[in-house]
C-alpha cells in the first residue's frame, strides 16, 4: 500500500486527529497561527481570538508599535512573536515561516489577511494601483501559502481573507474585486493540491466591517445604501464575527471544510433585500 493510501485510510478510520488540536496544557503542543496584517482591524481581532483559545501567534505587519502593543496585551494569554515586514517583500514569507519554526517549531494555520483597500472604476485605475493591489492582496498571499507548505503538517490549514466583493462585482471595486476573486481561485488551487495531504485552504469573505479600511466611508450615504441597506440583518458585521469564523475553520470542528468560500455578510450576497427606507426614498436622477 502506498504511503498516500495508508494516510488516507488512517484519515478515514478516524485515527488522524489533526496536529492543530493537541493538548493545550503542554506548551510545545499548542498550535501556531501566522497572521498577516495583525496590527489592526480584522487581523488584530483574529490574533486576539486565537490567543484566547491558547494558540501561539506569529504576527506580521509594517507598524511595529502596534505589533509591540499587541504582544504586550496578549502576553498573559500566549506567546506572540512578530515580524515587521511589508508582505510584498520577496523574502517576507520565508522570514515569517522561519520565525514560526525558530520560535515555536511548528505552523498550524496561515491567515492571509493583509490587504489593500484601494477602490476605483476599472477605467480610472492606473498601473501603479493595479500592481499595488495585486501585489498585496493576491501575490503575497500566494507566496505566503507556498512558503507555509514547507512547515505545515497534516491537520493544518490556510485561511484567506477575501471579500464579498470577490464574489460579486462592486461598483467602483475594480482591481479590489479582481484581486479578491483571484484569491478564491488561488485558495481552491491550494485546496485541491494539498487537501489529500491533510492541508486545507478556505476563504472567509466578509461584507463591510468597520475598521481603519472602511472608517472614512462608513457614514457616507452611498456606502450605507450599497451595504447596510441591502443587508437583511439587524446589525452590522464586526471584526469578531470574522475572527470567530476564521477560528472555526482552523479548529477541529471545521476540519472537513476545504476549498470553500464562506460569505460573512448577514445575507447581503445571497438576497435581494432592500431596507424599507431605501425602497421608499425618492429617486434622484443625475443632474437633478
Ligand X SMILES: NC(=O)c1ccc[n+]([C@@H]2O[C@H](COP(=O)([O-])OP(=O)(O)OC[C@H]3O[C@@H](n4cnc5c(N)ncnc54)[C@H](OP(=O)(O)O)[C@@H]3O)[C@@H](O)[C@H]2O)c1
The binding site for ligand X (CB under 6 A) comprises 36-37, 39-43, 61-63, 66, 86-88, 113-117, 136, 161, 163, 206, 208-209, 211-214
Nearer to ligand X, 138 or 198 (CB): 138
As a whole number of angstroms, the distance between CA 175 and CA 171 comes to 11
Going from the C-alpha of 125 to that of each of 4, 166, 213, the distances in angstroms are 47, 17, 19
In the complex, minimum distance from the CB of residue 210 to ligand X, in angstroms, rounded to a whole number: 7
In the complex, minimum distance from the CB of residue 146 to ligand X, in angstroms, rounded to a whole number: 17
133: left (phi over 0), alpha (psi -120 to 50) or beta: alpha
Name which of 214, 157, 131 is nearest 35 in CA terms: 157
In the complex, minimum distance from the CB of residue 61 to ligand X, in angstroms, rounded to a whole number: 4
In the complex, minimum distance from the CB of residue 71 to ligand X, in angstroms, rounded to a whole number: 14
Q: Where are the alpha helices (DSSP H) in 13-136?
A: 41-52, 64-74, 92-104, 127-134
As a whole number of angstroms, the distance between CA 113 and CA 226 comes to 23
In the complex, minimum distance from the CB of residue 77 to ligand X, in angstroms, rounded to a whole number: 20
Nearer to ligand X, 8 or 210 (CB): 210
Nearer to ligand X, 30 or 80 (CB): 80
Name beta bridge partners: 203. Answer: 160, 261
Nearer to ligand X, 211 or 228 (CB): 211
176 is catalytic: yes
In the complex, minimum distance from the CB of residue 115 to ligand X, in angstroms, rounded to a whole number: 2
Q: What is the CA radius of gyration of the chain?
A: 20
Nearer to ligand X, 40 or 153 (CB): 40
In the set 176, 194, 256, 273, the catalytic residue is 176
Sign of CA dihedral 149, 154, 160, 161: negative
The grid coordinates of residue 145 equal 501559502
As a whole number of angstroms, the distance between CA 248 and CA 162 comes to 16
- Decide the pairing of beta strands 107-112 and 152-161: parallel
Counting Cα atoms < 13 Å in the Cβ hemisphere of 177 gives 13
As a whole number of angstroms, the distance between CA 244 and CA 47 comes to 11
Nearer to ligand X, 116 or 157 (CB): 116
As a whole number of angstroms, the distance between CA 222 and CA 229 comes to 10
Catalytic residues: 176
Amino acid at each position: 500500500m502506498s504511503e498516500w493510501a495508508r494516510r488516507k485510510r488512517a484519515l478515514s478510520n478516524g485515527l488522524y486527529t489533526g496536529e492543530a488540536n493537541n493538548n493545550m496544557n503542554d506548551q510545545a503542543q499548542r498550535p501556531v497561527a501566522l497572521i498577516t496584517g495583525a496590527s489592526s482591524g480584522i487581523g488584530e481581532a483574529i490574533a486576539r481570538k486565537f490567543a484566547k483559545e491558547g494558540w501561539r501567534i506569529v504576527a506580521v505587519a509594517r507598524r511595529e508599535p502596534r505589533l509591540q502593543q499587541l504582544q504586550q496585551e496578549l502576553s498573559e494569554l500566549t506567546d506572540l512573536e512578530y515580524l515587521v515586514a511589508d508582505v510584498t517583500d520577496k523574502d517576507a514569507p520565508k522570514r515569517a515561516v522561519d520565525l514560526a519554526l525558530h520560535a515555536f517549531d511548528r505552523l498550524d494555520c496561515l491567515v492571509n489577511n493583509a490587504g489593500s483597500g484601494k477602490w476605483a472604476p476599472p477605467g480610472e485605475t492606473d498601473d501603479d494601483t493595479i500592481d499595488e493591489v495585486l501585489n498585496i492582496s493576491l501575490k503575497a498571499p500566494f507566496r505566503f501559502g507556498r512558503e507555509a507548505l514547507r512547515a505545515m503538517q497534516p491537520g493544518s490549514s490556510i485561511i484567506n481573507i477575501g471579500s464579498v466583493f470577490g464574489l460579486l462585482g462592486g461598483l467602483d471595486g475594480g482591481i479590489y474585486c479582481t484581486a479578491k476573486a483571484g484569491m478564491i481561485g488561488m485558495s481552491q488551487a491550494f485546496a485541491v493540491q494539498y487537501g489529500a495531504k491533510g492541508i486545507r485552504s478556505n476563504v472567509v469573505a466578509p461584507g463591510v466591517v468597520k475598521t481603519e479600511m472602511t472608517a472614512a466611508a462608513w457614514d457616507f450615504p452611498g456606502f450605507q445604501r450599497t451595504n447596510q441597506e441591502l443587508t437583511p440583518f439587524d446589525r452590522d458585521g464586526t471584526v469578531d464575527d470574522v475572527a470567530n469564523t476564521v477560528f472555526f475553520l482552523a479548529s477541529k470542528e471545521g476540519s472537513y471544510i476545504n476549498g470553500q468560500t464562506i460569505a460573512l455578510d448577514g445575507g447581503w450576497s445571497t438576497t435581494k433585500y432592500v431596507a424599507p427606507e431605501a425602497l421608499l426614498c425618492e429617486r434622484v436622477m443625475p443632474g437633478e
